[in-house]
Structure 1
């Protein structure tokens, strides 16, 4: 199995499959009402909508890096403000997450196999720290898992 195949399969499984650890990202996100998405339980730093915007931004940033752009914070910002609660806006936030991950899957499938082990542009010391393209995409998949667990916990806090 090539690196591209391995990463694409792992991404698909985490997003919409049956990952070993529990519910997929999309099954968690699709269970969130727009009211819950904007509620911030006492003690939480971000609401669910902000977490999903954060996930979307970092997915776009990893694709920019795969396109040869220097590593930086996401264009949207690290933690974009979701604004006031609106049901249509919530639907767009979820659709954006899905669309950007469809695009990422395409990037992964078409990424040249010989480039996976190259250091990411703009990451000083990437050769020494292992910040290769493969490392970045694997890290993003882990990032999706981490934040989907946060979303599930926040939803449980909100809805009991």
Structure 2
């Protein structure tokens, strides 16, 4: 199995498949109500909408890196502010996380196999394994898992 196939399969499992650890990212996100998305339980730093915007921004940043751009913080910012509660905006946030991951899946499938072990552009002095394109995408998949668990926990805190 190629690196592209392996990463693509892992991404699909985490996003919409049946990962061994529990519900997929989309199963969790699709269970969130508009009201819960903007509520911030006591002690929470971010609400669910902000976490999803964060996930979307980092997905875009990894694609930019795969496209040869220098590594940096996401264009949207690390933690974009979701603004005031807005039901239509919430629908767009959910659509956006799904669309950006469709694009990522395409990037993964079309990424040249010989480039997976290359160092990501803009990482001065980088020579560690964690600076390769393969590691960046694998890390993003882990990032999705981590934040989807946060979302599930916040939703449980909100809805009991």
User: Structure 1 length normalisation: TM-score?
Assistant: 0.99
Q: Deviations over 1:46-102 (max 9, x none)?
A: 000000000000000000000000000000000000001111100000000000000
Residues in 2 aligned to 1:109 and 1:121: alpha-carbon distance in whole angstroms: 20
CA contact (8 A) 1:40 1:47 kept: yes
Question: Map of 1:65-76 to 2, 5 A cutoff?
Answer: 65-76=65-76
Aligned match of 1:111? 111
Per-residue deviation at 1:129? 4.7
Residues in 1 aligned to 2:94 and 2:9: alpha-carbon distance in whole angstroms: 21
Per-residue deviation at 1:126? 2.4
Deviation above 6 Å: which 4+ runs of structure 1? Answer: none
Structure 1 spans left out of the alignment, 5+ residues:
none
CA contact (8 A) 1:57 1:77 kept: yes
Residues in 2 aligned to 1:8 and 1:36: alpha-carbon distance in whole angstroms: 31
CA contact (8 A) 1:126 1:132 kept: no
Per-residue deviation at 1:125? 3.2
Per-residue deviation at 1:127? 1.3
Q: Deviations over 1:98-122 (max 9, x none)?
A: 0000000000000000000000001
Residues in 2 aligned to 1:124 and 1:145: alpha-carbon distance in whole angstroms: 28
User: Structure 2 length normalisation: TM-score?
Assistant: 0.99
Question: Map of 1:10-29 to 2, 5 A cutoff?
Answer: 10-29=10-29
The alignment's C-alpha RMSD in Å is 0.7
Residues in 2 aligned to 1:17 and 1:91: alpha-carbon distance in whole angstroms: 22
